[in-house]
Amino acid sequence: MAVGVTFPRGFVAAGVTAGIKASGRPDVAIVAASQSVPAAAVFTRSATAAPPVIVSRAHIAEGTIRAIVISSGNANAATGTPGQRDAERMAALVAAGLGCKAEQVLVASTGVIGVPLPMHLVEPGIEQALAALSDAGGADAAVAITTTDAAPKLAERQVDTSLGSIRVGGIAKGAGMIRPDLGTMIAVLTTDAALDPSQTEDALRAAVERTFNCITVDGCTSTSDTVALLASGVCAGVLTSDDVILVNAAIQAVCEDLALQIVRDGEGAHRIAHWTVTGAKDAAEARTIAYAVAEAQLVRCALNGGDPNWGRIVAALGVTGCAVVAERIEITLGGHTLCREGMAVEHVDTAAVNVAAARETVEIGIDLGVGTGTASIWASDLSKLYVELNADYTT
């Protein structure tokens, strides 16, 4: 069945087991278009970006892309010149199999940092994936890019335009080391819309900023964050301005779907919070405050326990370095006001608040009363399982 990245027409995909992961789970994926197509990508801004990111940054500048190859179980990060050669070799092997230039292939790797990529396993894995490419391979590709994910992540949307039905699909991986900075973890998006290079770039950057860049699990930005969008143009014709708006909305919807799957799958996550900050000095400070509070360890612990302890939020607000006036702070949880003018509200319906704090998604609002800045993000809680998973990641 065509799902995820193969839901849009003009794409094939595969996910195979090369043996990179000791578990024996699938670990090499390829997503390919039927020809080189307009594409855009965003990457981590980490100063320790992995070789695949460096290679892909150079390749995306070529303008059109035929495919992306992804390996999981090894990040090929902090691997120096040999890692760079390995990433380039991965692109070259896929290009040879598809009959395109190596510069028209993007590369991504995810997993343990600082370990050389086992190319003696990766190379035959790529050959196997090339042979398995099909329009029914979207689900397999979604599985092959996972690491500590509890489940593969796929999403699809379809919109009716003046040119007919246009499809958007995507796959993503991520559960830990989630604190996006331009891109987050690994995500591949596809559409059969006839977007030109500029439209593809604009659509991706706008969608990422409103979705992947609005989530956090643990405040940790990866060395390997990559989000790519390929537009096959199978639904041919000139898009009207209204069509472009519809397609962009579908791309954003797929990104939001995948982003929320990631934050809900935060390693060991029990529940998530949707944080809304209003009344900040400006939008930048609102965003800074939202992340600072959502990533505060005591706040995350309270979220995990369903404890409506607004005092933890006040404490976190005091050290954001932003414009905060204690006497103007208002905090709501599930629509219930718990704190007003920096103090506890009398006569709160405690039972109703406890119910709201125990939901899978907890709505928390912070109004600072000092300006017009707003921001909204989603964040995971902090569980015992998260600590256990990350305490022995390499052992």
**CA distances (Å), origin 256, targets 23, 94, 130, 158, 253:** 30, 30, 30, 15, 5
Q: Which residues contact 198 (CB under 8 A, 6 or more apart)?
A: none
Tokens describing residue 261 = 């799957």
Q: State the pairing for strand pair 186-193/226-235.
A: parallel
Q: How far is the C-alpha of 326 from the C-alpha of 196, rounded, in Å?
A: 50
Dihedral sign of CA atoms 249, 252, 257, 260 in order: negative
Do residues 112 and 75 lie in contact, with contact meaning Cβ atoms separated by under 8 Å? yes
Tell me the residue type at 324.
V
The one catalytic residue in 6, 44, 148, 184 is: 184
Q: Give the number of residues written for the chain.
A: 395
Written as one string, the DSSP assignment of 330-352 is EEEETTEEEEETTEEPSS--HHH
165 burial level (CB within 10 Å; 0-12, 13-18, 19+): exposed
Closest CA to 70 of 122, 112, 22: 122
* Residue 6 falls in the annotated catalytic set: no
Active site residues: 184
